Chains A and B, each alone.
Chain A
Amino acid sequence: MKFRSKLATAAAAVILAAGVSSAVQAQLKIGFVYVGPIGDHGWSYEHNQGRLAIEKALGDKVMTTYVEKVPEGADAQRVISKLASSGHGLIFTTSFGYMNPTLRAAKRFPKVKFEHATGFKRAPNMSTYSARFYEGRYVVGKVVGNMTKSNVIGYIGSFPIPEVIRGINATYLAAKSVNPNIKMKIVWVSTWFDPGKEADAAKTLIDQGADVIMQHTDSPAPVQVAQQRGVWAVGQASDMTNFGPKAHLTSIIDNWAPYYVARAKAVLDGTWKSTDTWDGFKPGMVQMSAFNKAIPANVVALANATRDGITNGTIFPFAGEIKDQAGKVRVKAGAKADDGLLAGMNFYVQGIDGTIPK
């Protein structure tokens, strides 16, 4: 009797264990860590759209969760480890400051797959991915160079990291190519998301004569200010038309959905490998929102031609000759900037006033 009950218990345990493991295989839990609130209508919002796209594409095969507003200090590692230890098989950490915490978690949880946005450290179970936003900035540059009357572009920068510097340079090079008198005024706000500071920066730039406001920050506040003050604006990360229909020229949209769906599928198929992805217009990771109706048809045509040229490889935003502010040649005539130079870009191109804050 005793023996039989033991046997039954053992059998039950085996069945239970088998059931659990097949359930784990059947459903992949995917975790997301966001630096902002999902309602920022910018960076984190678009990553969350990518998460929803996974759910839509893969349905019952996946279950997704997210943690928003995770500070980039000691808290990040706690949250990432917590996701890894609670059964998540694939974890996207969507801000640069999560790089070292993600790497530590990747070492501690070798069976979990990690995807880190915008970083440069990888591991066998940790990939990195980012988008070539500068391609979008180059298209925007062609538009704003034509639209400005005062020839002053106001630019709100977050932090002087290569990604932001690249965007400023790409914008300037494109705008200069259509408007030789172009000037850029840059205000650094030292934050990715602070509607109050971003709005103040926009007002300051307008007061200094800018009639186009560009931003490398995530809230729609600058677009709203531009709408009130009757100047142009360019949205960041997601389509910000609704925040200033008259002012909004276009937005550069980060479209993470195709990449996220592909990576989730790869984990399900068992084909996931650690890689470094840096995609632009071509696979649709960067997109332009609809252009404002007030933009003349020839400018829209130029913008579209520029986008198509970048997509099919005939136009390259950082084609030589490119000199820095000191006049030193950084990209030789006829050459293209390589990814190494682009990834570590820490100089303004010749013609931009001011210095990069140190």
Chain B
Amino acid sequence: MLVRLEQRPEASKSMIYVSPLIAVVLTVLTAMVMFALLGVYPVKAIETFFIEPVSSLDGLAELLVKATPLVLIGVGLSLGFQANVWNIGAEGQLVIGALAGGGLALAFFDQQSIFLVPAMLVCGVLGGMAWAAIPAWLKTRYNTNEILTSLMLTYVGLLVLSYLVHGPWKDPQGMNFPESRLFHDSALLPILIDETRLNVGALIALFVVVLGWILISRHIIGFQIKVIGMAPMAASFAGFKEKRLIWLTLLISGGCAGLAGVIELSGAIGQIVPSISPGYGFTAIIVAFLGRLHPVGVLFAGLLMALTYLGGDSAQITMNLPNAVTGVFQGMLLFFLLASDVLIKYRVRFGAPKINTEAAE
């Protein structure tokens, strides 16, 4: 039997939503084969990976804590990606945002104030925006490639962090170890559920998802973003200002990353440490695409990606599997997603093509 791909007359709308599900199912099936080869009972392994981590209140809270930065950054990035503005430097914007907010917490370390947390969040957003403004300015002024400038600024941002925690912001009582002093209670985000780390940051992320959805689906700016991404010429004929949109999308994605950074710092870590993020800014790129560059999709993709991290912990603790399992899962997920995306533009047909006979004449 011959299997072939036939181009669809237009992209399948249902497949846009079905293909991530196909990818997840294929990932799970392949993972079961992998577990069987590793000599682990596959069903038990899948349960350990996907169910066990979220079977307790604490687990659910940790899932949301882990997903918060991924979703926040993912929503911001997806707006830019739709407009063909490729901000690869969210990691750096996250770090600078975290430093802006965390610096405020350190400056007022001995003062209690209910305004401290809101001010830190605002500083975080502004810090991220400032770092994203550099590639925006370079691109609009000198037509520089924002992929390179934003990526390279990530390393600059990490060095700024390293300088501050090794130098001026080091804990005076910290035996010279590279960590800031612990934040005061009033510099920590309010906890939503006692005995867990679930904080207000998760609600902020949800709010940003809603804002992102309104912007992209219900606002003229969202329309402009989509048009400029799909047909730049048409956009310029329609009088959309491309430079303005470059600025806007970079500032929004930078602001989201900075917000994620300060939430991570004041919600989950509680002090400035040499490694604030284990690469959320880069993982969020995967999350954005996994979520179809749509805010609601990003929400689900962020949760799924967070679950793979938690599942990796469980797999190591209860089944003695290596940490590499997490990486394999994430890799397979992306691989199958890209493969399934073929189905959006093509459909699978069985048997010999009919038009071929006519074409041969």
Contact = CB atoms under 8 A, between A and B. Distances in A.
B187 interface: no
B323 A159 contact: no
Does more than half of chain A's interface fall in helix, strand or loop, or is it mixed? mixed
Contact of A83 (B66, B182, B197, B317): B317
A165 B195 CA distance: 39
B316 A65 contact: yes
B58 interface: yes
Contacts, number: 88
Contact of B317 (A31, A69, A345): A31
Does more than half of chain B's interface fall in helix, strand or loop, or is it mixed? loop
Contact of B58 (A37, A85, A159): A85
B320 A344 contact: no
Contact of B274 (A65, A66, A97, A120): A97
A344 B58 contact: no
Contacts of A162: 175-177
A96 interface: yes
A189 to B, nearest CB: 12
A108 B195 contact: yes
Interface residues of B, number: 39
Interface string B291-325: 00000000000000000011001101110101100
Nearest to B68: A74
A68 B322 contact: yes
B223 interface: no
B58 A357 contact: no
Interface stretch (B13-21, B81-89, B111-119, B161-169): B161-169
A71 B283 CA distance: 15
A68 B195 CA distance: 25
Given A82-B313, A83-B317, A161-B177, A73 B269 contact: yes
Given A67-B316, A78-B66, A108-B195, A96 B177 contact: yes
A358 B166 CA distance: 5
B275 A73 contact: yes
A161 B313 contact: no
Contacts of B177: 96, 161-162
A67 B270 CA distance: 23
B316 A72 contact: no
B45 interface: no
Nearest to B170: A358
A85 B320 CA distance: 17
Contact of B264 (A72, A73, A83): A73
A81 B314 CA distance: 12
Interface string B62-106: 100110000000000000000000000000000000000000000
B271 interface: yes
A190 interface: yes
A358 B317 contact: no
A86 interface: yes
B313 A67 contact: yes
B323 A73 contact: no
Interface string B316-355: 1110101100000000000000000000000000000000
Interface in A333-355: 343-346
B178 interface: yes
Given A72-B274, A82-B317, A120 B175 contact: yes
Nearest to A34: B323
Interface residues of A, number: 37
A71 B318 CA distance: 20
A179 interface: no
Contacts of B270: 100
B276 interface: yes
A75 B197 CA distance: 11
A100 B268 CA distance: 12
Contacts of B323: 37, 67-69
B275 A66 contact: no
Interface in A45-104: 65-69, 71-75, 77-79, 81-83, 85-86, 96-97, 99-100
B39 interface: no
Contacts of A357: 166
A159 B178 contact: yes
Interface in B253-291: 264, 268-271, 273-278
Contacts of B166: 159-160, 357-358
A81 to B, nearest CB: 7
Interface string B171-207: 0000111110010000000000001010000000000
Given A74-B264, A100-B270, A100-B271, A67 B317 contact: yes
Given A72-B274, A161-B178, 8 more contacts: A65-B320, A68-B322, A73-B278, A86-B317, A159-B274, A190-B162, A343-B175, A358-B166
20 contacts: A65-B318, A67-B317, A67-B323, A68-B323, A71-B275, A73-B264, A74-B269, A78-B310, A81-B58, A82-B313, A82-B314, A83-B317, A96-B177, A97-B273, A99-B179, A100-B179, A108-B195, A159-B166, A159-B274, A160-B166
